[in-house]
Amino acid sequence: MIEPVTPTENMMYVTARIVGIDGTGNASQFGTGFFYHFPYPGDETRFVPVLVTNKHVIKGANKTIFIAHTVSNGGKKPDGKVSVSSNFAEWIPHPNADVDLCALPIGGFLSSAKPSAFYRHIDKSIIPSDEQLQDLSAVEDVLMVGYPNGLWDSENNYPLIRRGITASHPAVDFKVNGAATTVVDIACFPGSSGSPILLYSPTSSYDKKTNSNMLGQGRIYFLGVLFSGPTIETDGQIVIRNIPTASVPTAQISMMMNLGYIVKAKELAALGDAIVKKFVPTPAP
């Protein structure tokens, strides 16, 4: 396996392929989750590790499974993997019903995993502030890390990384069903839900104050989480032979538009508050 050195190599270890298991024990749905560290209240040396995805990725599943990398003897790259199972009730939803996010606390798994779990995480250090979003342009390069249509490198437990651009300005709230989003122009398919979207300009950035390109001053920002995308409905006729007098039924076929809506990264704060309330004890007065 690969020792992660570059930013995009580290992205190979940020996500996990989530499989939803139905009541009959069959894999019924797929999605993407990513590892995130919430700060521990009052202690900057500690954190609350979670796996984040969309609510709809796990909706209807009795339990979920993801595969985690493992490493023996403190190595710099993983040399194994392990299956991690959780019940639906263990996932914590975002408190706002309009925000399609939830998280699975994984501290117990990390502390007990033998060999040790190997992963990379996102945290608030790369979430852009409102001022930083204002400094961006309407069109920025982005990467999406995940498992479109459930596709993955099953041998090495790696995701697929896709490239696109922002289709709406990241500083502006593009409202979708009451939720503030950003639109991205990227090929989005079922299974990509829950994928982190990262602004990625490794070699230069544009300075709006000086109207110039700043060579050697790249940027990596966590913009948000893919949760849906618009579709075009087309009529696909189903031909039924041998019954010429019967009515001909018509099927509705949805075609993706290669656009995606992302939950803005700032919404992670409220999800973190919900997790902290449940798992972090309140100090005695």
What are the residue ranges spanned by the domains of the chain?
7-231+255-279
The rounded percent of the chain whose pLDDT value lies above 70 is: 86
| Residue 94 near residue 61, CB atoms below 8 Å | no
| Residue 196 near residue 225, CB atoms below 8 Å | yes
Strand residue runs (E) in the chain: 15-21, 27-40, 43-53, 63-71, 80-87, 92-93, 102-105, 116-118, 141-146, 160-166, 174-176, 179-185, 196-201, 204-207, 212-215, 219-228, 231-237, 250-256, 259-264
Distance from C-alpha of 115 to C-alpha of 15, rounded to nearest angstrom: 19
**Average pLDDT over the chain, rounded to whole?**
87
pLDDT band of residue 157 (cuts 50, 70, 90) is: very high
**pTM for the full model?**
0.89
The predicted model gives 216-226 an average pLDDT of 88
Residue 219 has pLDDT above 80, yes or no: yes
Distance from C-alpha of 35 to C-alpha of 45, rounded to nearest angstrom: 18
Distance from C-alpha of 104 to C-alpha of 117, rounded to nearest angstrom: 16
CATH topology of domain 7-231+255-279: Thrombin, subunit H (2.40.10)
The encoded tokens of residue 213 equal 């390109």
Residue 239 has pLDDT above 50, yes or no: no
How many residues make up the chain in this entry? 285
Q: Specify the DSSP class assigned to residue 277.
A: H
Q: Specify the DSSP class assigned to residue 3.
A: P
Max distance between CA atoms of the chain, in angstroms, equals 80
